[in-house]
Amino acid sequence: MKLLVTGGLGFIGSNFINLLQEENEYSIVNIDKMTYAAKFENVSITKPENYEFVKADINDESTLEKYSDIDWVINFAAESHVDNSIKSSTEFVQSNVQGVRSLLDFCRKHDKMILQISTDEVYGSIEKGSFTEESPLNPRNPYSATKASAELLVKAYHETYGIPYLITRGANNYGPNQHPEKLIPKTISNILSNKKTPVYGRGLQIRNWVYVKDHCNAIKLVLERGIKNQDYNIPGPEETSNISLVKLILKTFNKPESLIDFVPDRLGHDFRYSMGDSKIRKLGFSYSMTLEKYLHSLV
């Protein structure tokens, strides 16, 4: 099977490519425009005969046209820093909405299928219980609004043109290749240098957390066994508040809680994300990692 993987030098995309290279059945074309979060070293090229890298923007339709022999588009390409989207949403609309439109037009022209990688943030916040795949989308910041828009475009192209699709919605990821701007690597980097580490508000926001390799295994499972034209939540096995997570990191690395620096909360900061995972478990999926186990592996 030949895959066009977009954003494959980023955090989740590179882990997905590394996973697929453990098998011989996949040939991969990796298109990445090399933004600040992309790194060549994120990808371990173990089978160069089954891998090709192309530096390009997914809005570059002439580049996409060169790869009309692929079977699936797997779209990881996205601007994902919520704080940056609040400052300016221009690049987020260009990548996360216009870019998906470009990929969909390519799929329409060449009768291809698309797997859109999305996020739990499209659901918005929930006080109790967990969202299911049937829950309505209610994005509350510019980033999540662009990801929700991308999902709606995918479904609209299916309804209008018959393009087969799959959508996965992941929770907060952690693990190898993560950009240092994110909460876990940023906190670890700060405290190892005995620097104060910032926590928004009082750190009471609650999130699902999923190990990136578990997330990628789930995406692969959806690709191979998922029901076409369906959505799949991939929330992770645990839910915790930001302050509890930061305290766990401090405890693991034997650092004092005095290193916590509470800073003003950001605009549009959702209180709690939570998704159910019964649908992905029905495909035979299970988790291999917890936050505590991962953090202890770093000490």
Query: Active site residue: 32, 57, 79, 121, which one?
Result: 121
Are 75 and 7 contacting, i.e. CB atoms less than 8 angstroms apart? yes
Q: Annotated catalytic residue: which of 57, 120, 231, 277?
A: 120
Half-sphere exposure of 89 (CA within 13 A, CB side): 12
143 is catalytic: yes
Is the distance from CB of 180 to CB of 186 less than 8 angstroms?
Answer: yes
Nearest to 73 by CA among 54, 42, 100, 41: 100
Of 26, 51, 123, 143, catalytic: 143
Instruction: Please give the single-letter amino acid code of residue 264.
Output: P
Retrieve residue 38's tokens: 């992309």
C-alpha 130: how far from chain center: 19
Question: Is residue 121 flagged as an active site residue?
Answer: yes
Q: What is the C-alpha end-to-end distance of the chain, expressed in Å? A: 39
Output DSSP code: residue 53.
E
For residue 179, what are the contacts with CB-CB under 8 A and spacing of at least 6?
11, 37, 185
145 alpha-carbon distance from chain centroid: 15
Number of Cβ within 10 Å of residue 68's Cβ equals 12
- Alpha-carbon span 28 to 3, nearest angstrom: 5
How, if at all, do strands 206-211 and 238-241 pair? antiparallel
* Residue 51: closest CA among 109, 16, 105, 3: 3
3-state secondary structure at position 101 = helix
Largest CA distance in the chain: 58
The SS3 of residue 6 is strand
What are the residue numbers of the active site?
120-121, 143
